[in-house]
Amino acid sequence: MRVVGYAREVPGADDGESVFSQGEYVRRWVNQHGHRLIAMFQDPRGAAEPPDLSGFEAMRKVLAGGGIDAVIVDRLEAFSPDIVRQEIAMWDIGALGTRIISCRGEEGSAELRATLRDVLSKVHEYQSRFVDESSEDHLIFPLDLDAQDLVVELLPHSA
């Protein structure tokens, strides 16, 4: 299998492993399982908010080009410490035709992950049916949610 690796130091995690140690764990796992590591992408911890994810962005571009069977991570936390963001990143990578393998296996609540995956599949189904992605307003919620005094009024449908 042709694979790429991804490592990220989680912001604020004092006990997290360095990208170097995560990368070594991924390399060792790939060698033990007889796969071919094409590239290793990483995002070291930084002070920037939002965090610099240029390694993740570069990996997505490579995945979009095709020919990669899987992304290997030491832990799913490499995508985010937040389980919802992990699932979104995993959905995004899956949509590019690539699977994800965590060297340490499934992490977190299986029930919560199943619920999140169900929600993401329903969002995808909705977008596929109702959202014109060729327009500039292709987001489900194109509102400025940080705006002050935002009022949304639902109007009855008139026949």
Scored b (16 or more CB within 10 A) or e, 59-90 reads: bbebbeeeebebbbbbbbbbbbeebeebbbbb
- Taking the C-alpha atoms of residue 79 and residue 86, their distance in angstroms, rounded to an integer, is 5
pLDDT at 141: 47
127: part of which helix (H) or strand (E)? helix 110-130
> According to CATH, what is the number of the domain 2-106?
3.40.50.1390
Show me where the domains of the chain are located.
2-106
Query: Greatest CA span in the chain, whole angstroms?
Result: 65
Tell me the pTM. 0.72
- Taking the C-alpha atoms of residue 30 and residue 69, their distance in angstroms, rounded to an integer, is 13
Strand stretches in the chain, DSSP E: 2-8, 36-43, 70-73, 99-102
The tens-digit pLDDT sequence of the chain (159 residues) is 999 999 998 766 555 688 999 999 999 999 999 999 999 999 988 766 677 889 999 999 999 999 999 999 999 889 988 888 888 898 899 989 999 999 987 666 777 778 887 888 888 787 777 766 665 554 444 445 455 555 555 556 555
Q: Are 42 and 4 in contact (CB under 8 A)?
A: no
